[in-house]
Amino acid sequence: MAKVITTDHWVWHTSTVPANKDEEVELFVRERNGTPPGQKRRPVLMLHGRSIPVLPGFDLRYKTYSWAGALAQAGYDVFMMDLQGSGLSARPEMDDPRNVNPAQQNLLTPRPPGFVPGPPHYPYQLNNSYSDWGELHTVVEFIRKLCEVEKIAFIGWSAAAFWMGPYAVKNPDKVESLFLLAPIFPPKGTSNPPATLPQPGFPTFLSTKKGLRDGWAGELHCDGQREDGIVDVVWDAMQKSDPVGSVWGDYDGLSRYRNFVRWGWNETTAAQGGVLGGSVPVLLVYGEYDKQANTKPPSTNPELNFSVPALYDSVTGAHKLMVKLACAGHSVPWEKQHGNVHELSKHWLKQLKVDGKTHGVFDMDVDGNLSPAP
């Protein structure tokens, strides 16, 4: 078993978020390095989605749930980053409770000291695709220099696809491979930024423990799909990644997540240059009961109509695979299938294949057995 060394990095970045543009900020990056002595590092970068910080998502220190830990034990040098507005990275404008979504300010009970409900003091969405791609680039360059490598393997969950997908298309010389779990992909989404930035709105959304439990419950359809007590474990980890939100609201605390505007990830941009599935091999994995990555019923708003199979079809290169997980939802890193996902990712990082193949669509049962999709 590999010896794993854990190091928390604070990576300096010149912000392009409008709320703190040109300020030097710190991006949180956790490294779990399982590189065997005398061997070259094999770096993997893991990126969070919309509302779950990177540590609860990828490094949940409970039983066998730490995906990053599993990869480090397999000999990889695993890095996990929080974009600004998430987890332990800088959170401009988010410490002010007035900048919470006005429709959610009722959750701030009891009220934080000095808080009076009302319109946001900063009436704009916080992040955008430019700023997120820029932060991802800074961390990629940090890892490339630290590990003395040209390319890094990417693993992203959910909305991470908005940033990792286009980045890989534009920087194939820096991305070894792309593993997207439950990727959010609007095939008819916009390619272009809005005319003005920042966009009107507010910086901060809130999530609750009850919301986590109930939203997740809507995707549970198999016995044992979600372990008893795991909601408490996940929520506690989310609270540790949000020292401010954790003391807001009732005794369970709240979890803050950023409001962002995004573009540049759709059937046109995913196909550009034949990069995805070409020089950057792609593996897409999703749960059969995932209602977030596959909008059910389909939305009439093209920006909110998501489909994993549509992403597979949009990838123009031949080196592309897709796996549907039985008895799994959007929260599969914390579900029964999590161990099979860990094993699948290890095999992918080593072989860049699924079931010996570099192309095709597969189903995986709860025992980890693969079969070609009918």
Write down the pTM of the prediction.
0.98
HSE-up of residue 329 (Cα within 13 Å, Cβ side): 18
Amino acid at residue number 180:
L
Q: How far apart are CA 258 and CA 52, in angstroms?
A: 10
Q: How far apart are CA 181 and CA 158, in angstroms?
A: 6
Residue range 256-272: mean pLDDT, rounded = 98
pLDDT digits (tens, 9 = 90+) for 289-344: 999 999 988 899 999 999 999 999 999 999 999 999 999 999 999 999 999 999 99
Quickly state the pLDDT bin for 2 (edges 50, 70, 90): confident
Please, are residues 144 and 152 in contact by the beta-carbon 8 Å criterion? yes
Is 90 exceeded by the pLDDT of residue 122?
A: yes
pLDDT digits (tens, 9 = 90+) for 196-230: 999 999 999 999 999 999 999 999 999 999 999 99
Of 339, 342, 347, whose CA–CA distance to 367 is shortest?
339
Mean pLDDT of the chain: 97
Is 80 exceeded by the pLDDT of residue 95?
A: yes
Give the total residue count for the chain: 374
pLDDT digits (tens, 9 = 90+) for 60-80: 999 999 999 999 999 999 999
- Which residue in this structure is represented by tokens 């034990």? 73
